[in-house]
Amino acid sequence: MPDRRELANAIRILAMDAVQQANSGHPGMPMGMADIAEVLCNDFIRLNPANPDWPDRDRFILSNGHGSMLQYAVLHLTGHDVSLDDLRNFRQLHSKTPGHPENFMTPGVETTTGPLGQGLANAVGMAIAEAALAARFNHDDITIVDHHTYCFAGDGCLMEGISHEACSLAGTLGLGKLVVFYDDNGISIDGRTRNWFTDDTPDRFEAYGWQVVRNVDGHDSGEIRKALETARKEKRRPTLICCKTVIGWGAPNKKDTAGVHGAALGDDEVAAARAELGWQDATRFAIPDALYEAWDKREAGNALEGEWLDRFEAYEAQYPEDAVEFQRRMAGKLPENWHAVVDDLIASQQQAGTTTATRKSSKAILSALAGQLPELLGGSADLSGSNGTDFDGHRAINANDFSGNYIYYGVREFAMTAIGTGLALHGGILPFTATFLVFSDYARNAVRMAAITGARNILVYTHDSIGLGEDGPTHQPVEHLASLRLIPNLHVWRPADGVETTVAWRAAIERRDGPSALALTRQNVAHNERTAEQVAAIARGGYILHEPQDRVQALVIATGSEVELAVAAVHELAADGVGVRVVSLPCVELFLQQKQAYRDQVLPPDVTARVAVEAGVTDGWHRFVGANGTIIGIDQFGASAPGADVFEASGITAAAVARALRQQIDAA
Ligand SMILES: Cc1ncc(C[n+]2csc(CCOP(=O)(O)OP(=O)(O)O)c2C)c(N)n1
Ligand SMILES: [Mg+2]
C-alpha cells in the first residue's frame, strides 16, 4: 500500500509533466496543495466518478483556478472521465483540460474559475443552495440533501475584495457545510506576499463568524485530516483551514519562489523534482499501478451513490410528492402548469393596460409567479424596495432557517452575482439578484462569468436610465446597456411596459444556457396595445409594435421607456400623413438570433430612413439604423434633476424623434 506522500506525489508528477508538455501552465499550486488534495479526496470527499452529476455529491471548487492541473490530476486519478491523453492535451484546443477549470468542458468540474476570488463566492452560493434544499426536502426520518462544499483558495482569492463580500455573508448565514482551504504559501506572482498582503487572515475570518483552524502544516497528512475532522464537526459556522504550504513543493531549486507559480519547471528541474520525490520512472505521465489502485474511487463512488439511491427509494415511498418535486427541481425543469400560469399573467397584463414603472410590473410578476416557482431564491443588494424584488410572500433565509425564498445580500453586488451563479450551478435553485443598473459594473466580471458558465442567473437591474432623475449622474446609467450587450451569451432585456416585462421574465426563467439581465425603469411608462401576434412576437427580441395606415416611409427603433417617445412621435407624424413603423427591440441578442427573413420583415432593407432611440450611449445602434441613420441617445453623463428634465436637457424627446424622422425621410 503506497504511503500518503506517494499518493500526493502522483498529483505533483502529473501536474509538472502536463505543464512541461504544454510548456504553459502553473505547476506551483498543484505541487504545493497536493498533500491537502490527497487527504480531502481519499478520506473525505463524496463523489462518484461514474456520475459526476449525482445530486448529493460533495461540491469541490478550485477558486485558485490557475492550479487547474491539480483538479485534472485528481479527476484522472479518482477515475473520472479524464484520461491520460486528456492530461497530455492540457491547454490545447477543445481539450477536456483547459487552462483554467471550465464547468462545460470537464466532467467533475462544478464551475469555471480563474478570476481570483469568484470561485469562493460560487462556493458560498453552492453552500446556500445545499442548505436551502436540505431545509425544503429533508425529513426527520430521511435525509436526501446532505453534502459539503469544499473550496481551495489562495492568497490572490483572499486579497480580492470579493472574498470579503462573500465570506462576510457566509459567516452571517452560518454556512456550516462550507469548508475553505487557504493555501498560505506566502507567494503570489510578484514575489513574497508579506510586501503587499499583511492582513491577519485567521483573525479576519473569525471576525466574520467563521471557525478558523490555524497553523495547519499543509504537508502533514495527519494535521490536514485533523483539521478536516474539526471542520466537519462544526455545524453552525463555515470553516477556514489555514494551511502553511510551500509553493512548488518537491521542486528542489524552484520551490518557494514566484518562479514556480506560472511557468513550466524545465526538463532539468522536472528531473531534479523526480529525484527529490523519490520517483523512479522518468517517463512523463507514468503512474505506477499501485498508485492508480489506491486512488481509484469508482467502486467507492458507486457505493456512495448507491446508498443514496437506496435512501432516495425509501424517500420516494414515504414522500412521493416531495421526491417528484426534488427530481423536477434538480433537473431544472419548470412546473407542469408553468406555461398556463405565465400565459395567463401575460394576458392579464395586456388586459389591465396600466401605466406603471417596469420595476413595479416586475414586482407584480414576481408576486404572481413566486408561489408557482418554489425554486425561486431571489434577493437584492440592499435595494429590495427600490428594485421591486420584495415580492408578496417573500421570506428571507437566515442562519437558523433556510426555508425562505429571499436573500438579503447587503451591499455586495459582486459577491451577490457570483453567489447567484453558484446557486444556479448547484442545481435545484432558480436565483435572481438585483441592484441598480449603474452598479452592474461593480459586479461586471461575475456577470461575465455567469455567461461563460451558462448559469441561469437572472439579474434584475432597475433605475435603468437618466429617467431615474434626482440622484444624478453617479446613479444614472449611460454606458451600461451597451456595455452589457457586449458580453457574449448574456441576454439583455429592456422591456417597454408590463407586458414586455412579463415576457422578459418568462424568457429569463425558461432559458437553460445562460444569464439574462432585466433593465427596468424607475419611472412610469405607458402601456402599449398589442394583438395576440404582437404579444407572441415579443419573445423574438424585436417586433413591429405600431404599423402606419399606409406606406412605411421610415422606421423608428426603440427600447424600454423610449418606446413611448417613439410612439408619440409617430402619432404626431401620422397627423401629417407621414407613415412610420415603430419597432420595439427589448432584447437585441434574441432579435439577432432570428432568421434573416424575420429580421428583414421587421426592418425591411429597402426602408433606409431610420431612427433609433434609447436613453444610453449611441454605440451599437448603427447596426440597426445603418451608417446614415439617426441615433438619439446620450453620449455623456446625466445630471441631477427630475427625470423628465434630464430627458429634456439631453434632447431625448418625442419632438426630437419626430424631427429626426422627418429629416431621415427628406434625405432618403
Ligand atoms: C481577478 C484576477 N486578477 C489577477 C489574476 C492573475 N493572477 C493569476 S494567479 C495570480 C497570483 C495569485 O497568487 P496566489 O493566489 O497566492 O497563487 P499562488 O501563486 O500561491 O499559486 C494572479 C495575480 C487573476 N487570475 N484573477
Ligand atoms: Mg500564494
Q: Of the residues 36, 100, 112, 116, which should be mutated to test ligand 1's pocket, given the most ligand atoms within 8 Å of the CB?
A: 116
Q: What is the pLDDT of residue 108?
A: 98
| Ligand 2 centroid, distance to 57 Cα (angstroms) | 28
Q: What is the pLDDT of residue 1?
A: 85
Q: What are the beta bridge partners of residue 328? A: none
* Residue for grid cell 407624424: 573
Backbone angles phi, psi at 154, to 5 degrees: -110, -175
All residues at 6 or more sequence positions from 469 whose CB lies less than 8 Å from its CB, including other chains:
522, 523, 641, 642, 643, 644, 645, 646
* Residue for grid cell 431545509: 135
Rounded-to-integer distance, Cα 595 and Cα 602, Å: 11
pTM of the model: 0.98
| Ligand 2 centroid, distance to 285 Cα (angstroms) | 26
- Active-site choice (130, 413, 564, 572): 413
Quick: pLDDT tens for 630-643.
Answer: 999 999 999 999 99
Segments of the chain scoring below 70 in pLDDT:
none
Quick: pLDDT tens for 83-93.
Answer: 999 999 999 99
For 365, 468, 561, the CA distances from 584, given in Å and listed in that order, are 21, 21, 11
Backbone angles phi, psi at 583, to 5 degrees: -110, 120
Say how many C-beta atoms besides its own lie within 10 A of residue 150's C-beta: 26
Q: At what angle do helices 298-318 and 320-330 cross, to 10 degrees?
A: 130
Q: Of the residues 122, 157, 189, which should be mutated to test ligand 1's pocket, given the most ligand atoms within 8 Å of the CB?
A: 189
| Whether residue 211 has its Cβ less than 6 Å from ligand 1 | no
| Whether residue 145 has its Cβ less than 6 Å from ligand 1 | no
